[in-house]
Amino acid sequence: LQKILILLQVTLSVIVGKTLMILFPNAMKRYILKMGEKSRMNRNPKFSYENWGPTFFSFKYLQFVLKVKWKRLEDEAYEGHPAPNTPVVTLGGEVCHVLDFMKDNRPLILNFGSCT
């Protein structure tokens, strides 16, 4: 049921977004660029709007958003229940899962941070 609701919500937003891009291309470009500022995507000189902007509200965009949202349904953590075995990428580019780092009965500690 959750997947169906997500499908309907994302499909509707893609249809509305695509329609607005056709009817008001300049306004939608400004809106998408503003979203890019929030995610800092605009700071990368290799990314120009012409490279990624038109992909918004496309069929591939719909597929990607659905895949991410459906995957997140499986990644919910609840107190007292086992942790989700979320996929991660090592610094070497290898895809594995969080629980792959467990060693015997030792606790696994995840430390999140950032460097700028």
Q: Is residue 115 part of a domain?
A: no
Domain count of the fold of the chain = 1
Domain-located, residue 43? yes
Q: Are 85 and 98 in contact (CB under 8 A)?
A: yes
Predicted TM-score of the model (pTM): 0.55
**99 within some domain:** no
Q: At what angle do helices 2-23 and 25-38 cross, to 10 degrees?
A: 130
Residue 63 maps to a domain: yes
In a domain, 33, yes or no: yes
Q: What is the pLDDT of residues 26-43, one digit of tens each?
A: 998 888 888 877 777 667
Residue 108 lies in a domain: no
**Residue 83 domain flag:** no
Give the tens place of pLDDT for each residue, 63-103: 999 988 888 777 677 788 877 788 888 888 888 888 888 88
As a whole number of angstroms, the distance between CA 101 and CA 33 comes to 39
* 44 assigned to some structural domain: yes
Residue 9: domain span? 1-75
